[in-house]
A = this chain, B = another copy of it.
Amino acid sequence: MNEQWVELAERLTPALHETKAAPKRLVEVAADADAFQGWRMEPAWDVEELRNKTFGKGESFTLDFGDHCVGYVSFAVDSAGSPQDAPLKLKLTFGEMPCEIGENFADYDGWLSSSWLQEETMYIDVLPAIVRMPRRYSFRYLKVEVVDASRKYTATFSDFVCVSVSSADRSAVPPLPADVPDDLRTMDRIALKTLEDCMQTVYEDGPKRDRRLWIGDLRLQAQANYVTFGDRDLARRCLYLFAGMPLPNGAVSACVFETPKPHADDIHLYDYSLFFAACLHDYYEATKDRETLEELWPVALRQLRIGVERLDARGVVKDDPSWWCFIDWVEGLNKQAPAQAVLIYNLRRGLKLAELVGAPEAGRIAEQLQRALDAALAHLWDARLGAFVSGEERQVSWASQVWMALAEALPREETAALFDRLHAAPPAVGMNTPYMYHHYVEALFLCGRTEKAWEEVRAYWGEMVRDGADTFWEAYNPNDKKFSPYGSNVINSYCHAWSCTPTYFVRTYWGN
């Protein structure tokens, strides 16, 4: 642990801006096989009517704040009828999406902790009371249920407020060019909201879950941030947190925690550690901050070395059961070829950084880059199939093709032709996350298939909009809308930073 770096990161902790949101209406959740994930929100009554209603045992109401909120909720509660003669027992359920209000959390049986499901059971001994909930929630809908009052009194509610927090500065966002069409404007707005709600004292992956800094998410968040909010200190803070708290072998951890004091997780992901080089590269490109570049360059170099250590005698990333490489949440996805491509992608950026700082390792990096590229073409390219293959079983996945495109393993026109073939006959192993779709679209832009890129943005993020997204989601498969990597869609994060890149696409590629 490099304490100086962690201290520097702590000094860069941003202040949070607060904005107040009030519920816009009351709704009722309704099961509807035709609605997204089987749940629809029906308007129930005006928010002004709430004050005049009373709620006894087993009665409930659901507030709709009209947009995604990340913050602290308070409300006023009083008794009606006889004096309060027993504690008021309330259950509050927060939902980013209707499914979280419609389904019973007790039925959740996924492998991620049920403690992420946002609910509280509370007792209020003395009414009237102003309840100020100490935990932060990520939600649009809030269901309030009177679990029990008593035979002699009921409860009344008013003054619900959410004080939302974010370190993003909305006023810094440049206007969109005039010719951006409405649907892309909508996606830009939702993407910005997604990024804003994930920009806290770090780039959180999701404010509902996991509420912490992952390097894979950071990379895309920072890229989107550089063309929108333009915050450089938060990205710098995050780089120093990763750099300051490596794993014992010097690899950058996949994620870090901020509290009670900064500490790293013990997860090493092959691709995520390598992305430290890309993150530093992007940060320097956006900020030209040479001091940070020079200070953190050795950390980037260490990641490249660790990445290269995994190459076998042929120069191909070893594929065995011992390693973890993320790439995407797809059951059965073989990670060898995409990992090889991620290595190449980062060696390219590392080489640039080495040249910028005048590092003596530049030559060695260039050699390794060439070796990895040659090995990819020699061993992972299947000329008969006209596609990259991965692993013993020579799996053809979208992920392998996309990452090889981003790694620029083939000349630009050959990559474009590869994608044309894939569009005619798609690989069986598909994509499940906006994170993977981001890389797919980025690859299309890179190889010049601009129209197809916008088509895919509209087909994927546009479909989320049609499915009711206030912020973009962690996981989304347009062909399997209840898809979850965790065993249940109720635990999915519906404001997830790695899905914020439509704003990056629009502001980087529209009109270019």
Contacts and interface: CB of A to CB of B under 8 A. Distances in A.
A290 interface: no
B114 A82 contact: no
A82 B247 CA distance: 13
A121 B122 CA distance: 8
Interface string A97-115: 0000000000000011111
Given A82-B265, A126-B259, A151-B111, A116 B87 contact: yes
Determine the main DSSP class of A at the interface with B. Answer: loop
Contacts of A384: none
Contacts of A127: 260
Contacts of A83: 257, 263-266
Interface stretch (A142-150, A188-196, A234-242, A493-501): A142-150
Across chains A and B, which 7 residue pairs bring their CB atoms closest together, nearest first?
A86-B113, A89-B115, A87-B115, A113-B150, A115-B148, A126-B259, A121-B121
A323 interface: no
A199 to B, nearest CB: 19
Contact of A82 (B88, B121, B266): B266
A128 interface: yes
Nearest to A113: B86
A149 B127 CA distance: 33
B86 A150 contact: no
B82 A116 contact: no
B86 A112 contact: yes
A7 interface: no
A86 B115 contact: yes
Interface string A436-469: 0000000000000000000000000000000000
A115 B259 contact: no
A322 B412 CA distance: 92
Nearest to A89: B115
A128 B265 contact: no
A135 interface: yes
A32 interface: no
Pick the most buried of A83, A84, A128: most chain B CB atoms within 10 A of its CB: A83
B114 A125 contact: no
A259 B266 CA distance: 50
- Specify how many copies of this chain sit in the oligomer: 2
A115 B123 CA distance: 7
Interface in A137-172: 147-151
Interface string A71-93: 00000000000111111110000
Given A126-B260, A135-B123, A260-B126, A149 B86 contact: no
Interface in A400-436: none
Contacts of A259: 125-126
B115 A85 contact: no
Contact of A114 (B148, B209, B257): B148
B115 A149 contact: yes
A379 to B, nearest CB: 35
Contacts of A265: 82-83, 85
16 contacts: A57-B113, A82-B265, A84-B257, A85-B210, A85-B265, A86-B115, A86-B209, A87-B116, A89-B113, A111-B151, A112-B150, A113-B149, A113-B150, A114-B147, A115-B150, A126-B260
A257 B125 CA distance: 11
A82 B268 CA distance: 13
Nearest to A116: B86
A118 B13 CA distance: 40
B86 A147 contact: no
